[in-house]
């Protein structure tokens, strides 16, 4: 009897002290007697949300819209992929193309004597160039012969020295040489100050 009263008393106490019990997820009792009343976490349960119904046609439309958008992007990319970077140096601008008639030079009439003179000059020039070319070839052949002679003479003296002489010179390549110019650079010349503006367009 006492036992029963005691356990009831405990129950009321625990019920009254609900706030305390809520902090526990589980009630683990230390009593020797079994207790059949439990306070469980099922109290926190929430009723399920109602599922929104989507119109199937609308869903299809949406999907198509997405698809079209991507297709458009692809088309745009393809369009620009074919377009090459313009080479301004060899393209004649529209303005210039329109002005070609305006820019025609009134050709001066060349007299017969003048044209004869010109033909003669071209012939003279080709003869002159041929002469130069011949001289150059001759000089090169002579130089080659001189080198060959030097090498054979060296071989007669010493095979070892000859072998050293015909080795390749790796230090010579790459060979770099500047000039000749019309006038030499002025030493300790100070270039006047100026701003450098890069106006070339960028193409990515």
Partner 1 sequence: MQKFVSFISSVSRLCPAKISVNQPFGICGRLMSVSSQDILTDDHSKKWHLFSAVCLERLPQISANLNEIENKYLNFMNQLEIENSLLSDHELRFQEDKKIAAKKHDDSDLKEETARKTTTEIEDLWEIEYNSFTPAPRITEADKSNDLKSLERCLDGKLILLVKQKLGTQETWVMPQSRHQPGESMRQTAERILHQYCGEKMKSLFLGNAPCGYHKYKYPRDADVFGAKVFFFKAFHQDGNVSEICPEIIDYSWVTKKELPQYLSPVYLESVNKFIIDF
Q: Is 162 exposed, middle or buried (0-12, 13-18, 19+ CB in 10 A)?
A: middle
The torsion region of residue 105 among left (phi > 0), alpha (psi -120 to 50) and beta comes to: beta
Cβ at position 139, least distance to partner 1 in Å: 5
CB of 155 to partner 1, least distance (A): 11
Residue 63 or 153: the one with the smaller Cβ distance to partner 1 is: 153
**Nearest approach, Cβ of residue 111 and partner 1 (Å):** 14
Determine how many CB atoms are found less than 10 A away from the CB of residue 165. 13
Instruction: Identify the CA nearest to 12 among candidates 45, 35, 32, 44.
Output: 35
Beta carbon of residue 203, minimum distance to partner 1 (angstroms, whole number):
26
Nearer to partner 1, 24 or 164 (CB): 164
If the CB atoms of residues 21 and 115 are measured against partner 1, the closer one turns out to be 115
Binding stretches for partner 1 (CB under 8 A): 100, 102-105, 107-108, 118, 121, 124-125, 128, 132, 135-136, 139-140, 142-143, 145-147, 149-151, 153-154, 157-158, 161, 164-169, 172, 175, 177, 179-186
Contact 48, 32 (CB under 8 A): no
Q: How many CB atoms lie within 10 A of CB 14?
A: 16
Question: Residue 73 or 158: which CB sits closer to partner 1?
Answer: 158
Q: How far is the CB of 181 from partner 1 (least distance, A)?
A: 6
- Rank residues 61 and 164 by Cβ distance to partner 1 and give the closer one: 164
Cβ 200 to partner 1 shortest distance, Å = 20
Long-range (24+ apart) CB contacts under 8 A made by 58-63 are none
Query: Which lies closer to partner 1 via its Cβ, residue 91 or residue 147?
Result: 147
Rg of the chain on CA atoms, in Å: 51
**Cβ of 89: how many Cβ atoms within 10 Å?**
5
Q: Is the peptide bond before 174 cis (omega within 30 degrees of 0)?
A: yes
């Amino acid at each position: 009897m006492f036992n029963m009263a005691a356990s009831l008393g405990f129950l009321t106490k625990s019920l009254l002290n609900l706030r305390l019990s809520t902090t526990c997820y589980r009630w683990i009792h230390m009593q020797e007697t079994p207790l059949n009343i439990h306070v469980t976490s099922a109290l926190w349960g929430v009723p399920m949300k109602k599922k929104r119904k989507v119109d199937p046609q609308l869903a299809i439309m949406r999907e198509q819209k997405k698809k079209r958008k991507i297709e458009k992007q692809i088309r745009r990319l393809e369009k620009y992929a074919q377009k090459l970077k313009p080479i301004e140096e060899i393209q004649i601008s529209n303005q210039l193309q329109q002005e070609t008639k305006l820019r025609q030079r009134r050709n001066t009439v060349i007299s017969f004597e003048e044209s004869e003179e010109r033909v003669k000059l071209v012939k003279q020039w080709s003869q002159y160039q041929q002469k130069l070319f011949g001289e150059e070839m001759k000089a090169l052949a002579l130089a080659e012969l001189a080198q060959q002679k030097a090498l054979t003479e060296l071989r007669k003296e010493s095979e070892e020295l000859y072998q050293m002489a015909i080795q390749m010179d790796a230090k010579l390549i790459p060979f770099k040489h500047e000039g000749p110019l019309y006038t030499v650079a002025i030493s300790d010349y100070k270039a006047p100050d100026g701003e450098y503006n890069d106006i070339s367009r960028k193409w990515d």
